[in-house]
Structure 1
Amino acid sequence: IANKEWWVLAALVMMAIPIIIFFGFLFSRPLSSQFSSIARGARQVAQGDFKTRLPMSDKDTDELQALVSDFNTMTTQLGRYELEVSESSAMIAHELRTPLNAAMGRIQGMIDEVFPRDLAQLEMVHRQLNQLNKLVSDLHLLSLASAGQLTLDKTVFSLEKLVAERLSWFATQLDEAGVVVTIDIPQQLTVNADRDRIGQVVNILVENALRYSAMGGELLIVGRARARSMELTVSDRGPGFGSENLEQVFDRFWRAERSRARYSGGSGLGLSIARAICLEHHGTIGVRNRPGGGSVIRLEIPA
């Protein structure tokens, strides 16, 4: 300690400490301010304000910009979920009430002897109750999928045989609508998936084509094996979708033509269910418009 160099070193350290503290405080203020802004935004989100967005600055570090971007993405997604829940609640009430009121009105008419008490009237009531039961089943499936509890019974099966089987169920309707069906799937193409669930997706896509395709339309179903996945595309010659609606077609209760879909029994849940089943298989599903008119729905399931 008595050595002169030690006193010089101590003096330098004592002079450096205030400088380090000053510049540390100077450079940390913007960072502290940004974190305070994030904390305020988080409190607003916690209070239910999902429109909160944080400003992005090019002067921030890459890590801070990534944090702000992720925060804004989170609030956007939360706002979308909130809107979907509120809209779905209203739509569910409406969709359940329509067939229920029709069935109750028919039964009340039979009680009041306004309608005859015969088999024809009971069949009308039965159709309404079937529609109600299907809607409840669809909502139950979507609830299970949202909760991650949709169970799959995976087996290896022929995709061509499955598609042919499901198309046979719609043979009469396809003939009446004048829809020409073309299947292009190799017979040896097999899939390891839940056969019933994938069949349900095929049903939904065929029903969708029947509902919106014009008379004398075309239905092209193509299956291909990729390096690590199976690809199935269903193309029709219907009206297609507006470019602004391509992101909405898989939303619950969304319809391209509400009046026609309701008349033909569509609830607007079909493509939502198809997406839920594909996601449960760790797959993807998308839609695009077909050149010359119509739409192409493409799903891909990992091998």
Structure 2
Amino acid sequence: MKARLRFGIGAKLFTAIFATCLLVLITMHWGVRLSFEHGFVDYIKRGNEQRLALLSDALADQYEQHGNWEFLRNNDRLVFALLRSLEQNPDRSAQLPPHGWRTQFWILDQQFHVVSGPRNAMPNNGFRHNITTSTGKIVGWVVGAPPERLTRSTDINFDQQQRRTSWIIVALSALLAAFVTYLMARGLLAPVKRLVDGTHQLAAGKFSTRVEVGSEDELGQLARDFNLLASSLEKNEAMRRAFMADISHELRTPLAILRGELEAIQDGVRKTTPDAIASLQSEVVILTKLVDDLHQLSLSDAGALAYRKQNVDLVQLLEVCAGNFAERYRSHGLRLSLQLPEHAPFFGDPDRLSHLFINLLENSLRYTHSGGEVEIRAWREGEFWMLTFADSAPGVDAADQARIFERFYRTEGSRNRASGGSGLGLAICQNIAEAHNGTLTASDARLGGLKITLQLPHVPH
């Protein structure tokens, strides 16, 4: 089977531009040819009319001298002599075209009888010029054949020469157009070729590929968008690899503990006691929590997490969540204080917002030192509801505050996995906040710990 001929975009662009140039050249050539031929015939016609007018005047003088047309009948020599005299000594006021007579003519008397002229039939549509004496009497006519086409060999040769010259000009112009079209197509397709090569490399997994932005037009914008896409893919690939490494790391620890505990029980090193079962159960709880958080985060990232929004009161949700944590906070030696307005109307999903508040309360409970304090405040600021969750020591370094919402990210020091977190809670909180057109930020708390600020748009009832 024969391979199909590849006809790329460069060849298509070259063909389109060159075909357009050829069409314009050929159209102009035929237009110029038609204009030249009609103009040349008109030029000959005007020249013949001028000569016939001069011949009419000369014949009128001869008629006045002889008194009739007998002197001219069957006397072609006299006609030719008159023609030569007109060519050699034309009237100074009449500028005759060069190259002499180009048409047949007949001389008629008063009775429209042919006095002199060719033997063939006189044309009906020929132009006629009166032979008028000095007294104003019309004594005859000179009738010329219309020059509908070129008849003289010199005129025909001149026309053919012009035609050959015009075709040579068309051929040279076509070669010039082909050269210019090639350069133009090559220049226009250079950025496209860079984009094609970059796309091939990107499809092969080389996300570090970038293309040169050489213009400010649509192709330049496309190159910038390509670089942005490549940068996003490179970043996502790095995040994917880090995510897989983090997941394997998070799963490895509880699985290793479970395996060690089970092997110890199997080998008889450790007995199956309630404490051993409780230890195994705690690791299973950690794994279950990690899997649940991963499931929630994947649903949120994919946009598949269902949100059933309705009119809710943020104050009521905060009070319910804080009430559920009150006993646990007391058992850890922490004081929980609320500074809330009477009502905070909002349009959102109460279950997802409760999940967000619970994660923030759990985060403060897990990382705040015993004897510390956790403060929750809410107030109206312009068109937004501002909610803050601030706790006491330990705090988070400013360099880490911008990254604590990344999945599996933990700070060094007290706020790490030793406290039991998976590193996904704040990432889930941020997705829930963004789903409600809100923002979640971290900063230093005046109590010495971390302050999480939730900003939500105010939607009145």
- Per the TM alignment, residue 180 of structure 1 is displaced from its structure 2 partner at its CA by 3.9
- TM-score with structure 2 setting the length: 0.56
Percent identity between matched residues is: 33
Deviation track 1:213-254 (CA, whole Å, cap 9, x = no partner) reads 344444332334566654433233445444443442222111
CA distance in 2, matches of 1:72, 1:247: 25
Does 1:147 pair with 2:283? no
Among candidates 311, 314, 321, match of residue 159 of structure 1:
314
Say if 1:111 and 1:21 are closer, same or farther in 2 by CA, change over 3 A: same
Cα RMSD (Å) of the superposition?
3.4
Give 1:53's aligned residue: 210
Give 1:115's aligned residue: 270
CA distance in 2, matches of 1:246, 1:45: 34
CA distance in 1, matches of 2:384, 2:175: 63
Specify which structure has the bigger relative contact order, considering alpha-carbon pairs within 8 angstroms and separated by 6 or more residues. 1
C-alpha contact 1:159 1:185 (8 A) present in aligned 2? no
- Per the TM alignment, residue 134 of structure 1 is displaced from its structure 2 partner at its CA by 0.9
Give 2:192's aligned residue: 35
Give 1:175's aligned residue: 330
Identify unmatched segments of 5+ residues in structure 1.
none
Give 2:44's aligned residue: none
Matching of residues 104-253 of structure 1 within 5 Å = 104-225=259-380, 230-253=385-408
State the SS of the aligned residue for 2:443. strand
CA distance in 2, matches of 1:292, 1:99: 34
- Per the TM alignment, residue 95 of structure 1 is displaced from its structure 2 partner at its CA by 1.4
C-alpha contact 1:275 1:284 (8 A) present in aligned 2? yes
Counterpart of 2:205, as a letter, is: G
Higher radius of gyration, 1 or 2: 2
Give 1:298's aligned residue: 453
- Per the TM alignment, residue 62 of structure 1 is displaced from its structure 2 partner at its CA by 5.2
Counterpart of 1:285, as a letter, is: L
- Per the TM alignment, residue 86 of structure 1 is displaced from its structure 2 partner at its CA by 1.2
Counterpart of 2:442, as a letter, is: V
CA distance in 1, matches of 2:228, 2:401: 20
CA distance in 1, matches of 2:177, 2:335: 79
Give 1:97's aligned residue: 252
Say if 1:109 and 1:37 are closer, same or farther in 2 by CA, change over 3 A: same
Give 1:78's aligned residue: 233
- TM-score with structure 1 setting the length: 0.81
Give aligned pairs, total: 297
State the SS of the aligned residue for 1:286. strand
More displaced 10-residue stretch of structure 1: 274-283 or 76-85: 274-283
C-alpha contact 1:285 1:299 (8 A) present in aligned 2? yes
Deviation track 1:238-291 (CA, whole Å, cap 9, x = no partner) reads 454444434422221110137752121111111111122223334332333457
